[in-house]
A = this chain, B = another copy of it.
């Protein structure tokens, strides 16, 4: 813990920059100095490119050109997202030596907002897993306990923020890959509504569920970054019940969960009525659609160079390749049914709350816990919001046995403001 950016908000940084107490080049130097190689957050650092960008940011500011709250801010980018001129490795030997020719759309947005891209962060191989310890680059370590998983797949992005190396990082989230490592590492992670941030230039995992998201120390900073990336300020939706001062929230009962985790997160929402949704059904929908879409992406690699995958990835892909088409078709219908049910719930509540994860970070290399195999356990509470394309925010919600746990807030597309407002109230 304890890099330069720990405890520093984007507002703090922006104030210092504009007051002349800090410069973009200075912030970059502090970021690079905060990198702790033992945590294995970064797979590529780009000191030269970042230096040039930082210098340009300083020149612009000096000339009165202000690109807003990300101007001059050091940012890390998940190694599944193309940054022109840098390797995109996907955490896989398959892409050893592969260098991106152009920026992903979200990286262009970052640059337009004046951000300084420090480097690329480690990902679970091809983003195909939530543990963050399966990668040709080795496991990314949790700064709260280096023997434990960071969570994944945006492992390095979460750790780079959690350990204060950068104040902000980009990740991707197909079943929880932004929110899971955010929760395990004690930071905030936001998965916007489907397609709110374009995925062009991001290596696909499951195209129906792939989202680009942001990771930062707090929900407030996720909000700032999200707005900086998506342009015009969000509309302010009407809450369901104007007379409810804190917004009407429902607690979604987790299916299987560590009771200490449940108690800790539930305590944040003491008055929220409990509601149930078919979490197990949604997870099956997630699985059937992701299996087909993921194998579609990888079929030729599995056939031609299976040995280049990490063993657990290859095994998952082979299973995915056998999931029959009729299950995909049924999942597509089931998804529509569940979407109608959840939409009805969101007609009655401003937002939904639940834990981000049913457990705290397991040991690196561990594949199974009391709730069963980790891979499905880790996405059990996050993947529903990928299936339904709803905005979902994970925020720090205390610790259990000394490890961070996350609370997850979900709402309807377009009502993201309600989530960020709720998170702001919970933070005070």
Contacts and interface: CB of A to CB of B under 8 A. Distances in A.
A288 B329 CA distance: 12
A322 B322 CA distance: 7
Nearest to A322: B324
Nearest to A290: B325
Interface in A287-345: 288-289, 291-293, 295-296, 299, 320-330
Interface string A14-53: 0000000000000000000000000000000000000000
Contact of A292 (B289, B299, B322, B329): B329
Contacts of A299: 326
Interface in A94-152: none
Contacts of A295: 324-326
Nearest to A294: B326
B321 A326 contact: yes
Q: Does more than half of chain A's interface fall in helix, strand or loop, or is it mixed?
A: helix
Nearest to A292: B325
A241 to B, nearest CB: 42
Interface residues of A, number: 19
Nearest to A330: B296
Contacts of A289: 325
Given A293-B329, A296-B330, A329-B292, A323 B324 contact: yes
Which residue of A295, A325, A329 has the most chain B CB atoms within 10 A of its CB atom?
A325
Interface string A257-272: 0000000000000000
A322 B325 CA distance: 8
Contacts of A328: 292, 325, 328-329
Contacts of A292: 324-326, 328-329
A293 B326 contact: yes
A292 B326 CA distance: 4
A289 B295 CA distance: 17
A179 B178 CA distance: 54
B326 A288 contact: no
A291 B327 CA distance: 11
A383 to B, nearest CB: 17
A126 B229 CA distance: 54
A296 B324 CA distance: 10
A296 B328 CA distance: 9
A324 B321 contact: yes
A291 B320 CA distance: 18
Contacts of A330: 296
9 contacts: A291-B325, A291-B326, A292-B325, A292-B326, A295-B325, A296-B329, A320-B326, A322-B322, A323-B325
Given A321-B326, A325-B325, 13 more contacts: A288-B325, A292-B326, A292-B329, A293-B326, A295-B325, A296-B329, A296-B330, A320-B326, A321-B324, A322-B324, A323-B324, A324-B324, A325-B328
Across the A-B interface, the 6 shortest Cβ-Cβ residue pairs: A292-B325, A325-B328, A295-B326, A296-B326, A325-B325, A296-B329
